[in-house]
Amino acid sequence: MLQDKKELVKNKADLKKNSLTVLQRRYLKKDENGNVIESVEDLLYRVAKNIAQADKIYDKSADIASLTKEFYLAMSSLDFLPNSPTLMNAGRNLQQLSACFVLPIDDSMDSIFETLKNTALIHKSGGGTGFSFSKLRPNKDMVKTTSGVSSGPVSFMQVFNAATEAIKQGGTRRGANMGILRIDHPDILEFIVCKDKNDSLNNFNISVAVTKEFMDALENNEDYNLYNPRNGEITGKLNAKAVFYKIVDQAWKNGEPGIVFIDKINDKNPTPEIGVIESTNPCGEQPLLSYESCNLGSINLGHFAKDGMVNWEKLEKMVKTAVHFLDNVIDMNNYPIKKIGEVTRSNRKIGLGVMGWADLLLYLGVSYGSQESLSLAEKLMGFIQSKSHEASQELAVKRGSFQNFKKSIYANGSPMRNATSTTIAPTGTIGIIASASGGIEPLFALVYKRAQCLDNEEMYEVNQYFEKIAKEKGFYSTELMDKIAKKGSIAEFKEIPDEVRKIFVTSHDITPEDHIKMQAAFQKFTDNAVSKTVNLPNSATKEDVKKVYIISYKTGCKGVTVYRDGSRDVQVLNLANNKEEPAQIKEVKPRARPVKTTGFTFLMHTGCGKMYVTVNEDDRGVFEVFTQRGKSGGCTSSQAEAISRLISLALRSGVNQNVIINQLKGIRCPVPILAEGGVILSCADAVAKALEAYNREKMSPELFRQTAPASSFYETQKHYTSDSSVNLTGACPQCPECGEMLTFAEGCACCRCCGYSRCF
- Angle, helices 312-332 vs 338-347, to 10°: value is 140
What is the model's pLDDT at position 153?
A: 96
pLDDT at residue 202, rounded to an integer: 86
3-state SS assignment for residue 286: coil
Which run of H or of E encompasses 384?
helix 371-399
Query: Could you report the per-residue pLDDT of 119-133, keeping only the tens digit for each?
Result: 999 998 888 999 999
The dihedral built from the CA positions of residue 753, 756, 757 and 758, taken in this order, carries a sign that is: negative
Strands 204-210 and 177-182, by their bridges, are parallel
Write the CB contacts of 89 (distance below 8 Å, at least 6 apart in sequence): 95, 96, 97, 125, 126, 170
Which residues on adjacent β-strands are paired with residue 434? none
Of residues 614, 573, 754, 639, the one with CA closest to residue 697: 614
Residue-wise DSSP of 648-661:
HHHHHTT--HHHHH
| Rounded Cα gap, residues 629 and 613, in angstroms | 9
What is the predicted pLDDT for the residue at 708?
Answer: 45
Distances (CA, A) of 401 to 420, 456, 620: 12, 45, 60
pLDDT of residue 657: 81
The rounded distance, in Å, linking the Cα atoms of 161 and 341 is 25
Say if CB 613 and CB 601 are below 8 A apart: yes
pLDDT-flagged residues of the chain (< 70):
1-3, 145-147, 168-174, 198, 448-461, 569-588, 630-634, 670, 674-678, 697-760
Among 176, 185, 201, 214, residue whose Cα is nearest residue 256:
201
Contact between 125 and 307 (Cβ < 8 Å): no
Q: Maximum distance among all alpha carbons in the chain?
A: 104
Phi, psi angles (nearest 5°) of residue 354? -135, 155
Q: Which residues are catalytic?
A: 281, 283, 285
pLDDT in tens, 624-672: 888 887 655 567 777 888 888 888 888 888 888 878 887 888 787 767 7
Q: Is 260 exposed, middle or buried (0-12, 13-18, 19+ CB in 10 A)?
A: buried
Spatial distance between the Cα atoms of 699 and 702, rounded to a whole number of angstroms: 9
Would you call the peptide bond into 257 cis, given omega within 30 degrees of 0 as the criterion? Answer: yes
Q: Are 522 and 382 in contact (CB under 8 A)?
A: no
Distance CA 150, CA 137 (A): 7
pLDDT of 13 reads: 86
DSSP string, 41-84: HHHHHHHHHHHHTTHHHH-TT--HHHHHHHHHHHHHTTSEEE-H
Phi (first) and psi of residue 705, to 5 degrees? -70, -35
